[in-house]
Amino acid sequence: MEQFIDWYCSEPRLALNRTVVLRFRLHLESLGLAAGTVNQRLAAVRRLAYEAADSGLLSPELAAGIRRVKGAKQLGARTGNWLTQDQARLLLEKADGDGLRSARDVAMILCW
pLDDT tens digits, 16-25:
999 999 999 9
* Predicted model pTM: 0.65
Nearest Cα residue to 45 out of 11, 79, 20: 20
pLDDT at 61: 96
pLDDT at 41: 97
pLDDT in tens, 46-56: 999 999 999 99
Nearest Cα residue to 46 out of 31, 71, 67: 67
pLDDT at 11: 80
